[in-house]
Amino acid sequence: MHSFRHSKRALQWLAMLAACLTLAACGFHLRGAADLPFKTIYMDFAPNSPVGVELKRNLAASGAQVVDDRDGAEANLKVLNDTRGNQVLTLNTNGRVREYALFQYFTFSVSDAKGAVIIPPTAITLRRVITYDENQALAKQSEEALLYRDMQSDLVQQILRRLSASKSALATEKSATDGND
């Protein structure tokens, strides 16, 4: 009985070790700060824009400074479109709404201090589906607000990934201008 417990515990440890090795072998790692190709950026979000506030916080965590002067920035992020909407997906037999699709449409572009385009106009569309029950209207309003907040966080992460990916475009542009000098 005693050796059965020891062998069971040894098997548990081996299984845990195998899981850790598998996880390490797949290349999994936590997302760190974004590796941005600029130190300063100007963003033309409205001062109270929730997307702008969250993006500013994430940029600061990545080592970039958000400046208030367009001329003093290495990069300029221009918001071309930022809208939210919903669409009825399904109705029940009484003609009442059963499901909505929540949308967030966001389009932006990024240019450098000289006005050269780093990221051409890029559209990001996010969509979440929510069921609706008129008997739980307040709970569904809270759920909708949470889903929009989730979409906002997803949007900010996608913008950061695109900004990080623009690093190679800037390096290519820089080497091309250095070669022309």
Does position 58 have pLDDT exceeding 60, yes or no?
A: yes
Give the sheet arrangement for strand 75-91, strand by strand. Answer: 65-67, 40-43, 75-91, 97-112, 117-131
Cα 7 to chain centroid, rounded: 46
Question: Residue 71: its pLDDT value, please?
Answer: 85
Q: Is the overall model pTM greater than 0.95, yes or no?
A: no
* Joined tokens for residue 27: 């290349």
The more confident residue out of 141 and 33 is 141
Which of 21-30, 41-50, 101-110, 163-172 has the least mean pLDDT? 21-30
Q: Are 70 and 77 in contact (CB under 8 A)?
A: no
**Percent of the chain, pLDDT > 90?**
40
The pLDDT of residue 170 is above 80: no
Does residue 180 register a pLDDT over 90? no
Superfamily of 34-180 according to CATH: Lipoprotein like domain (3.30.160.150)
Is the per-residue pLDDT at 21 higher than 80?
Answer: no
